[in-house]
């Protein structure tokens, strides 16, 4: 069973679980600020669930590639949308500052 590390916590989950749901069910701070209430609920359109992922997940979906290529995101940063990712092994997740998680410093 894979483990997801986020914000100093370690959460076990089934192989193939949706990363957004794993984090939300564990009550971990996936969204920043107003995005906690204002997000697309996992459709891949708002971009507020962006995180850095270290470890194995699926290839980016078409809508994920589209959204991460649109400001304030920048594909060069290598972020992923948690709502579009399946957990395929042990992961370490970092959330960055900014409403969309697009900042340069890790969120606190
Ligand atoms: S929740 Fe909106 S893009 Fe992931």
pLDDT of residue 18: 98
Question: Closest ligand 1 atom to the C-alpha of 49?
Answer: 4
Instruction: List, run by run, the mean pLDDT of 10-residue segments along the chain (108 residues).
Output: 96 98 97 96 98 98 96 95 98 98 93
What are the residues whose beta carbons fall under 8 Å from the beta carbon of 105, sequence distance 6 or more?
96, 97
pLDDT of residue 108: 79
User: Could you tell me if residue 101 is inside a domain?
Assistant: no
The alpha carbons of the chain give a radius of gyration, in whole angstroms, of: 12
Number of domains in the chain: 1
Domain around 26: 3-94
Q: At 53, which CATH number?
A: 3.10.20.30
User: Could you tell me if residue 33 is inside a domain?
Assistant: yes
Q: What predicted TM-score, i.e. pTM, was given to this entire model?
A: 0.96
Question: Closest ligand 1 atom to the C-alpha of 67?
Answer: 3
- Give the whole-angstrom CA distance, residue 31 versus residue 24: 9
Distance between Cα 40 and ligand 1 center (Å): 5
User: Could you tell me if residue 99 is inside a domain?
Assistant: no
User: Could you tell me if residue 44 is inside a domain?
Assistant: yes
- Give the whole-angstrom CA distance, residue 90 versus residue 69: 27
Pairing mode of beta strands 91-94, 9-12: unpaired
User: Could you tell me if residue 67 is inside a domain?
Assistant: yes
pLDDT of residue 80: 98
């Amino acid at each position: 069973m894979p483990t997801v590390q986020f914000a100093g916590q370690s959460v076990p989950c089934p192989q193939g679980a949706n990363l957004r749901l794993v984090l939300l069910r564990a009550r971990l701070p996936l969204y920043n600020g107003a995005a906690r209430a204002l997000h697309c609920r996992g459709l891949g359109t708002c971009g507020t669930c962006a995180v850095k992922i270290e470890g194995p997940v699926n290839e980016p979906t078409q809508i994920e590639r589209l959204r991460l290529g649109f400001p304030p995101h920048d594909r060069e940063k290598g972020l992923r949308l948690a709502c579009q990712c399946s957990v395929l092994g042990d992961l370490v997740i970092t959330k960055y500052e900014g409403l969309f998680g697009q900042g340069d410093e890790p969120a606190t």
